[in-house]
Amino acid sequence: MPSVFESSANAIPITFASKATWHAIRDTLPSPARQFADANGFAAKPGKCLTLPASDGSIAQVLFGLEDETHKAPDPFRPGALPGLLPPGVYRFANAPHDVRLATLAFALGCYRFGRYRKNEAPDVRLVPPDAVDAADIARMADAAALARDLINMPSNDMGPAELAEAARELATRFGADFNCITGDALEQGFPLIHAVGMASPRAPRLIDISWGDPAHPKVTLVGKGVCFDTGGLDLKPSSGMLIMKKDMGGAANVLALAQMVMDAKLKVRLRVLIPAVENAVAGNAFRPLDVFRSRKGITVEIGNTDAEGRLVLADALALADEEKPDLLVDLGTLTGAARVALGPDLPPFYTNDETLAGEVTAHAKGENDPLWRMPLWPAYDAWLDSKTADINNAPSGGFAGSIICALFLQRFVEHATSWLHVDIYGWTPSAKPGRPEGGECQAARAIYKLLSQRYA
DSSP string of 340-391, one letter each residue:
HHHH-TT--EEE-S-HHHHHHHHHHHHHTT---EE----GGGGGGG--SSSS
Instruction: Give the angle 123-128-133 at the CA atoms, nearest 5°.
Output: 115
Are β-strands 270-280 and 226-230 bridged in parallel, bridged antiparallel, or unpaired?
parallel
Contacts of 303 (CB under 8 A, 6+ apart): 287, 288, 289, 290, 291, 292, 293, 393, 394, 395
Euclidean distance between CA atoms 193 and 183, whole angstroms: 13
**Which residues are 89's β-sheet partners?**
125
Torsion of CA 419, 413, 235, 382, to 10 degrees: -80
The alpha-carbon radius of gyration of the chain (Å, integer) is 24
* b/e 235-248 (16+ beta carbons within 10 angstroms → b): beeeeeeeebbbbb
8 Å CB contact between 321 and 415:
no
DSSP string of 6-18, one letter each residue:
---TTPEEEEEE-
Q: Which of 26, 71, 367, 426 is nearest to 249 (CA)?
A: 426
Q: Which of 19, 113, 237, 268 is catalytic?
A: 237
Is 311 labeled as catalytic in the residue annotation? yes
Q: Which of 126, 206, 272, 311 is catalytic?
A: 311
Euclidean distance between CA atoms 310 and 334, whole angstroms: 8
Instruction: Give the angle 420-425-428 at the CA atoms, nearest 5°.
Output: 155
8 Å CB contact between 226 and 251:
yes
**Positive or negative: CA dihedral 134, 139, 144, 146:** positive
Positions annotated as catalytic residues are 237, 311
